[in-house]
Structure formats: C-alpha cells, structure tokens
C-alpha cells in the first residue's frame, strides 16, 4: 500500500520539467528515445556507453536525494520482498509486451504524436485504475 502524506505540486512540476528536458535532450542530441526499460536493457547488454551512465545517474540521484533531502521521502511501501519482486517482474513483462514503458510511450511517444504510444498510455492508465479499484 502506498501512503502519501502530502500533495506536492511544485516538486511534481519540477520533476516533470526535468524529465521532459532529459527526454528532449536524449532525442535531440543522441537521436534516442528516453524509455527507461529500453535504456536499461541496452545498458545490461554491452560496453560502457551513455546507457550505463544514464542508469548510474538515476541510481545516484535517488541515493543523493535520500541522503541530503530525507524529508522528500513522502511515500512508504508496505509490501514484502516477494510481492515487490513479483510486481517488478510483471512490469518487466508488460514493458516487453507493450514494446516500451511508461516513460518511453507516455513521455516520449506522446510528445512525438505516436498513435501507438497513445494507445499504450491509455492501457497503462486504465490498468492502473483497475488495479487500484480491485486491490482496495
């Protein structure tokens, strides 16, 4: 169960702007879509490149934020390791079936006007709503 204590529109907006900027830079500079599942898959395959740096940056930023801004940790997940591992595996299967993840389709694909990404994002959102509705 995810428990959110505060609604934080300013930090959410700031995070969205940073994510949009990163996705735009990946597209303009590298000619690549900043879909995290695809980046992670390529990072695990081979030589050190921008993909490994991107994943390392994600992990490092999270650790630094937790270390220097512990008050920003506003969510707590009450689930055992088995449930979290199962959830992660299901997300992985879903990204393979959907040929991309929420960042690839929802941020980058919608920004490029992709009909396939629009369909995928609608399915992601409906699945999330249905899961919350059924779980609670």
User: Looking at the DSSP assignment, which residues form a beta bridge with residue 61?
Assistant: none
Per-residue pLDDT of 119-134, as tens digits, reads: 999 998 898 899 889 9
Instruction: Lowest mean pLDDT of 14-23, 63-72, 118-127, name the range.
Output: 63-72
Among 104, 107, 98, 103, smallest CA distance to 127 is for 98
Planar angle of CA 2, 100, 74, nearest 5 degrees: 20
Burial bucket for residue 97 (CB in 10 Å: 0-12, 13-18, 19+)? exposed
Q: How many domains does the chain have?
A: 1
Residue 131, domain extent: 2-135
Whether pTM > 0.85 for this model: the answer is: no
**At which residue do the structure tokens 């995290």 appear?**
36
Which residues in 19-128 belong to E strands, given as ranges? 75-77
């Amino acid at each position: 169960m995810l428990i959110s204590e505060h609604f934080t529109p300013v930090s959410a907006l700031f995070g969205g702007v940073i994510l949009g900027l990163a996705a735009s830079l990946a597209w303009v500079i590298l000619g690549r879509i900043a879909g995290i599942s695809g980046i992670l898959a390529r990072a695990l395959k081979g030589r050190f490149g921008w993909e490994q740096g991107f994943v390392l940056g994600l992990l490092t930023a999270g650790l630094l934020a937790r270390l220097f801004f512990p008050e920003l940790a506003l969510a707590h997940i009450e689930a055992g390791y088995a449930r979290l591992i199962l959830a992660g595996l299901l997300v992985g299967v879903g990204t393979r079936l959907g040929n991309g993840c929420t960042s690839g389709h929802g941020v980058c694909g919608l920004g490029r006007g992709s009909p396939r990404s629009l369909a995928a994002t609608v399915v992601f959102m409906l699945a999330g709503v249905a899961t919350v509705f059924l779980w609670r």
